[in-house]
Amino acid sequence: MKGARRPLEVANRHPRLRVDRTAVAAAVGLLDAHAGLFRGGCPSGTLSVAFLEDPALANLHARFMGDPSATDVITFAGDAANNLAGEICVSVDAAARHARKTGARLSDEITLYLVHGWLHLAGYDDRGPSAKRAMRRAEARAMRLLARSAAMPRFKLA
């Protein structure tokens, strides 16, 4: 993705979420520009990001992973032959709950979920202790990169 901005589709399916799509694109663009720090980064092609409510994400979780419970992020691999990088589905409700519980900012939590999905597409996983540690280190590195570059998207629940 050197020098080129990837096609990005942002779907806000959460009725109370306010999203700055330009800021989301800037954050993804910054991650893409530093792909070398993250195993080469997310594959090239169109990346889709969907911000969802818990029931919608739980439905996807049940349908594609056989688990009807709510979750925070689901990532679907793309199809290089059709120039699709993949899709990141984020539960805004899970982010809001976790932010309230820990005192984190909602924007930071949603951004972390976006980063987590991008890292899954870059080849990271969080199954097993060592893989989970590698994922957490990459998340922290990505979040620092976004913060230092003033590229943290802002999200708000109305």
What are the domain boundaries of the chain?
A: 8-152
Report the side by side order of strands in the sheet with 8-12. 8-12, 46-52, 84-91, 73-79
How confident is the model at residue 19, as a pLDDT? 97
pLDDT band (50, 70, 90) for residue 3: very low
In 3D, which of 74, 51, 72, 49 has the Cα closest to residue 63? Answer: 74
How confident is the model at residue 1, as a pLDDT? 42
Place of tokens 């195993």: 39
Q: What is the pTM of this model?
A: 0.96
pLDDT tens figures, 18-74: 999 999 999 999 999 999 999 999 999 999 999 999 999 999 999 999 999 989 999
Give the residue-averaged pLDDT of 140-156: 98
CA 41 to chain centre: 13
pLDDT tens figures, 22-32: 999 999 999 99
Domain 8-152, CATH number (from 3.40.390.30, 1.10.3720.10, 3.40.190.10, 3.30.460.20): 3.40.390.30
Token pair of 130 as six digits: 């060592």
How confident is the model at residue 4, as a pLDDT? 61
pLDDT band (50, 70, 90) for residue 79: very high
